[in-house]
Amino acid sequence: MLFNSVEYLIFLPTVFILYWLIQDKIWWRNLFIVAVSYLFYGWWDWRFLGLIILSSVVDYSIGRAMGSASDDKARKRLLYMSLATNLGILGFFKYFNFFTESFADAMQGVGWNIDPFTLSIVLPVGISFYTFQTLSYTIDVYRKKIEPTQDIVAFFAFVSFFPQLVAGPIERASRLLPQFSQSHTFDLDNAKNGLRQILWGLFKKVVIADNCAPTVNQIFENYETQPAPVLLLGAVYFAFQIYGDFSGYSDIAIGTARLFGFRLMRNFAYPYFARDMAEFWRRWHISLSTWFRDYLYIPLGGSRVSSQWLVVRNVAAIFIVSGFWHGANWTFIFWGALNAAYFLPLILLKRNRSNLDIIAADKMLPSLREFWGILTTFALTCLAWIFFRAENITHAFNYILHITYFSMDFSKFSIINHGSTMSLIGILTLIEWINRHKEFPLQNSTLPVVVRWSIYLILCLFVIANGDNNDTFIYFQF
Amino acid sequence: MTRSSTSSSNLKSVFRFLKRTLVFAFAFVLAMILALLLTGWGCQSGRLGTAYKKHARLEALSSPKMVLVGGSNLHYGINSKMLQDSIDIPVVNMGIQQSIGLQYMFDEVKESLREGDILMVLIEPSSYIGMPIEGQTNIARIASIYPKGIRHLNAKQWYNVAMYSGMALIQNFRDMQVALSKKLRGKPTFYESCDEFGDYHGHKGKASQFKSRYRDFTDDKFHDNGILPLIDHIQKYVEQKNARVLIGFTPSAKSMSDSLFFGKIQMKLPPEIVVGNISDYILPDAFFFDSPNHLIYSKRDMRTQMLIQDLREYKATNDLHLKGNY
């Protein structure tokens, strides 16, 4: 079920009312969450519910077994079992064909022609997200950061919680699981903020991302015939498409969770206002970046290792694995490697934590230095996005090559055709800039009620006026 | 505070929140209706605004008369005066756009049908194979531009009005822009380019801008959109009024047509009311203006002559009381 669909418009209020009618009965509420989450997921394809159930059963059982295991060796064996099961399922569904095809290509390189054995595998929606979420549970239980839960229904609700099931934010067990053991009381202000965040998320997805998408597709598919300015525009549009799409989804997920009294972690913090790449990665897909930091980078030693080469290895590892997490394609791996290349100079020069505050916190406009930082960071990000969007590596390099031709033929570029999308991007950027100190722009507005309601009405009009596409979310494929 | 009082205050807060949300939803629906009506008013000089002109003629005509219903193929591609002169009964061209849906096209004229009238249905091939009979974006647009027509809408059409209202709003804005730009350049609007019969003349003297696209003609494209039962209903309703319903065909660009497939469409129609042969209306791409069913201005007369010929042949074998010497 898509957040931007009529089905969800009926699903959400129904679930909301029924949930709050189950008063003070935590177990029943959790069971209800599991049932509606499975309905939400099964709407897309009920057959893959089996994978979520399998993942939940395995990790719940392993968690309990770890709790009662007498020695560290047994605990480690159980952790490996959890890793093997979860990553095995993920690897099979997401990466099987990639590995067999890449192996065949490599063999062809040394003169052996092998027909790759591929399977027609459908990628289950959200598999990368819930796999990482359940893994966080077993790893944290193994590290004794959390106690294994005895409540199977709460655990199943934690794995399948519908707002963030298919595209995150990837929650940590230590943060979300205890919320399923608490009795939630309805908080009016929190619920109002939830609705505001849903509205803002819908605006970003339906109005910004879905408006950019057709132009991006057209430019990327016909890049050979496009002049440099149009190709640059294609990269910029894609930057806003993916931001609107993914951060929009996250906002709707977090807002929806708020309606039920749950707090999910922030996933985006105005990433395009970042002044350097390190700041960008503290602001983009925060739940995934911090996951890799906590479960890969720090266990590898992070930046506190004996040699610079190990720092380079650790940084490269998290970015390349992060790229590979996005999909079984060399483009994602290259995208990760490119971001590692952006990040490395900052960490080696120990300048990766130089921009921790809110940009231009007490001022209306950024300083020239800050503005230059934003501009260069955005340009580097757009360059990397070309690899993320391209069909394959050759496509990406050819796209960049065509930009460097500096063809200034504007006959195919009409400002009138792009005027409305550019204006919408301008509006988004302006609103986000003004509200950059907030978690999301519509949060706890102090504007008079008439002004606030007018803004909400205008945003709703924008959403409904653009809402006929029912486009799916990009991150569903990851 | 006891547990039950906490629960009840919790529920009260939930219902207070729901009440506010409903008030907002109501305000939003009102704002949406207002926006649609305002933009609809601004679009009265656009193509859909020609409904005013067409209805004015429909209501003014005495019976017997011929009422042409269909999509934009009629708006762009028929010479109603030539047809009228030939069959010697008054003609009105009600065609505007096919995505209004056949249901509305029929409902808006049915009350005006009298004994001896002929309802000539000339809908595009896609109307038979998937275009919803309840309409799409343009059912929402016509409701905003010609609000008098909303009395004809059924529940399914109202649902489509709601579903397509956003798209209709955008389209209304675009049409307002086009109308404004035409006014600023001193060019006639769609409304002004439409004659008293309901025929459009805005493309007079303009060359073909038609660009062919791939169109899939496989049997699974035959979606059951409920058009055959609707045609059956129309036939019964019209005959009850001692009027006649006839179904003819619309010109289609050759590169986007398939005579075999189109033949299957014709086979599904009740033969006693079918006029002409669908394959005859597959014409060279150069005859089309900007879409596979919009003829260039200079080919309107040819198409009208084809229809007159079809009516003549139909009259030869059927009981059709038309006075003209065709």
Q: In terms of C-beta density within 10 A (0-12 exposed, 13-18 middle, 19 or more buried), how is residue B229 classed?
A: exposed
Which residue range forms the structural domain that includes residue A418? 189-275+355-477
Task: For residue A285, indicate whether it is catalytic.
Answer: no
* Pair (A29, A56) in one structural domain: yes
* Pair (A374, A411) in one structural domain: yes
Q: Which of A273, A210, A216, A214 is nearest to A245 (CA)?
A: A210
Structure confidence at residue A464 (pLDDT): 84
* Pair (A179, A195) in one structural domain: no
Q: Which of A453, A60, A404 is nearest to B31 (CA)?
A: A453
Average pLDDT of the residues of chain B: 88
Structure confidence at residue B194 (pLDDT): 93
SS3 A171: coil
| pLDDT level of residue A257 (50, 70, 90 thresholds) | very high
Q: Bridge-partner residues for B274, per DSSP?
A: B247
- Cα separation of B230 and B135, whole Å? 13
Give ipTM to 2 decimals.
Answer: 0.76
Residue A337 lies in a domain: no
Residue A309 lies in a domain: no
Residue A463: list chain B partners with CB under 8 A.
Answer: 166
Q: In terms of C-beta density within 10 A (0-12 exposed, 13-18 middle, 19 or more buried), how is residue A453 classed?
A: middle
Cβ contact (<8 Å) for B28 and A23? no
* Pair (A111, A195) in one structural domain: no
Mutate to test the interface with B, among A456, A457, A459, A462 (most CBs of B within 10 A): A457
- Of residues A285, A326, A402, A418, which has the active-site annotation? A326
Residues of A in CB contact (< 8 Å) with B are 6, 17, 20-21, 23-24, 185-188, 191-192, 195, 453, 456-457, 460-461, 463-468
Of A185, A218, A241, which residue constitutes the final position of a domain?
A: A185
- Cα separation of B245 and B320, whole Å? 11
Distance from CA of B210 to the nearest CA of A (A): 19
- Cα separation of A165 and A271, whole Å? 23
* Pair (A48, A160) in one structural domain: yes
Write the pLDDT tens digit of every residue in A301-331. Answer: 887 777 888 888 999 999 999 998 888 889 9
SS3 A88: helix
B75-112 burial: b if 16+ Cβ within 10 Å, else e: bbbbbbebbbebbebbbbbbbbbbbbbbbbbbbbbbeb
- Cα separation of B224 and B291, whole Å? 24
- Cα separation of A346 and B52, whole Å? 68
What is the mean pLDDT of the segment spanning A257-276? 95
Residue A81 lies in a domain: yes
- Cα separation of B175 and B167, whole Å? 12
Residue A288 lies in a domain: no
Residue A317 lies in a domain: no
Write the pLDDT tens digit of every residue in B168-209. Answer: 988 898 889 888 888 888 889 989 999 999 999 999 999 988
Nearest CA in chain B to A457: B28
Structure confidence at residue B1 (pLDDT): 47
Mutate to test the interface with B, among A16, A25, A182, A186 (most CBs of B within 10 A): A186
Distance from CA of A391 to the nearest CA of B (A): 24
* Pair (A220, A164) in one structural domain: no
**CB nearest to A191's CB, from B3, B11, B17:** B17
Q: Is the peptide bond before B132 cis (omega within 30 degrees of 0)?
A: no
Judge whether residue A37 has pLDDT over 50. yes
Given CB atoms, is B163 within the 8 Å cutoff of chain A? Answer: yes
* Pair (A211, A271) in one structural domain: yes
Distance from CA of B13 to the nearest CA of A (A): 6
Of A162, A185, A208, which residue constitutes the final position of a domain?
A: A185
Structure confidence at residue B259 (pLDDT): 82
Structure confidence at residue B2 (pLDDT): 54
Write the pLDDT tens digit of every residue in B258-303. Answer: 888 888 888 889 999 999 999 999 999 999 998 899 999 999 999 9
Of the given ranges (B4-8, B25-29, B301-305), which has the lowest mean pLDDT? Answer: B4-8
Judge whether residue B145 has pLDDT over 70. yes
Domains of chain B: 63-132+187-317 (3.40.50.1110)
Residue A370 lies in a domain: yes
DSSP percent split of chain A into helix, strand, coil, nearest 5: 70, 0, 30
Judge whether residue A259 has pLDDT over 60. yes
pTM of the model: 0.80
Judge whether residue B12 has pLDDT over 50. yes
Residue A329 lies in a domain: no
Structure confidence at residue A121 (pLDDT): 66
- In the chain, the amino acid numbered B48 is L
* Pair (A18, A160) in one structural domain: yes
Of A149, A164, A185, which residue constitutes the final position of a domain?
A: A185
Residue A280 lies in a domain: no
What is the mean pLDDT of the segment spanning A160-177? 90
Q: Residue B295 gets which letter from DSSP? A: B
Write the pLDDT tens digit of every residue in A92-122. Answer: 888 777 778 777 777 777 777 777 666 666 7
* Pair (A269, A162) in one structural domain: no
* Pair (A245, A108) in one structural domain: no
* Pair (A49, A176) in one structural domain: yes
* Pair (A208, A178) in one structural domain: no
Write the pLDDT tens digit of every residue in A145-156. Answer: 999 999 999 999
Residues A273 and A359: beta-carbon distance below 8 Å? yes
| pLDDT level of residue A234 (50, 70, 90 thresholds) | very high
What is the mean pLDDT of the segment spanning A63-88? 91
What is the mean pLDDT of the segment spanning A180-200? 92
Structure confidence at residue A119 (pLDDT): 63
Checking B173-177 for CB contacts under 8 A at 24+ apart, the result is B173/B39, B175/B42, B175/B43, B175/B46, B175/B47, B175/B48, B176/B39, B176/B42, B176/B43, B176/B46
Q: How many folded domains does chain A comprise?
A: 2
Residue A23: list chain B partners with CB under 8 A.
Answer: 7, 10-11
- Cα separation of B187 and B193, whole Å? 10
SS3 B122: strand
In the A/B pair of chains, how many CB contacts fall below 8 A?
59
Structure confidence at residue B4 (pLDDT): 57
